[in-house]
Amino acid sequence: MAATPHIPANNEALDAAERVPSAADLDTLSRQLGRPVRDVAEIGARCVCGNPLVATTAPRLSSGIPFPTTYYLTHPVITAAVSRLEAAGEMMGMSERLAADPDLAAAYRAAHEHYLAVRDAIGARTGVGPVPEIAGISAGGMPTRVKCLHVLVGHSLAAGPGVNPLGDEALEKISEWWTKDRCYCAGAWDTTGEAPNRDRSRHVKTQAGDPAEKKRARAAARAALAAGQPAGESAGESAQGRDGGIA
Ligand SMILES: [Zn+2]
């Protein structure tokens, strides 16, 4: 059996200053994901233009819940490309090769060890400290299986090449759609209006039971009815658009 090669935990693509998330980074992450991001500790990898590719989460959330998945792919172009690989059955072939190739298995185990070590380091530098609940548990199926290529690619991008062999391989296989030497950000997410933030959750809460909102919705429905349109959301919207013209 091949010996597990050792990869130092400080094998990270970005240096300490580059990892610090700015307010603009958090805004971009929310736009990329289409929802407000929470508990982002660092940026794990960046586009050549500087935009985040990977969000790094500390091993314990602010709510106290242990969180084993350190790296999350956020760039829509990469996540879509990796989803295509998964849909094409790539993980099954990788799992079979892991079982048959001791050198690959050893390199993948080393990637698992690196993941754990760097997660400990992130826990230490974010003040979270050790998280015994998830000790020895990494993500993506490591160390012996392949269950999520997004996790492996996120790890490869955050660690740099030569750390996660299957993440590196997946990156190679998506090169038709994304490569690290080019910017694919233009048009990849909605940059108009406000980023998803607390305003959205307030909106949801409002819809759930705010009396003023209900009154407004009823008024819109009545207006739509008066205008001869079927009641419903689209009717409400068009009634809103004609405020003043009806009634
Ligand atoms: Zn870019």
Give residue-wise pLDDT tens across range 148-175: 999 999 999 999 999 999 999 999 999 9
40-46 sheet: strands from edge to edge = 40-46, 52-57, 71-73
The average confidence (pLDDT) of the chain is: 84
Ligand 1 centroid to 34 CA: how many Å?
A: 17
Q: Pick 13 or 203 by higher pLDDT.
A: 13
Ligand 1 centroid to 52 CA: how many Å?
A: 8
Q: Could you tell me the residue ranges of all domains in the chain? A: 16-173, 210-241
User: What is the rounded CA–CA span in Å between residue 162 and residue 239?
Assistant: 59
Ligand 1 centroid to 79 CA: how many Å?
A: 14
User: What is the rounded CA–CA span in Å between residue 167 and residue 157?
Assistant: 8
pLDDT band with cut points at 50, 70 and 90 for residue 240: very low
SS3 56: strand
Ligand 1 centroid to 181 CA: how many Å?
A: 10
DSSP 8-state symbol, 123: H
User: CB–CB of 75/53 below 8 Å?
Assistant: yes
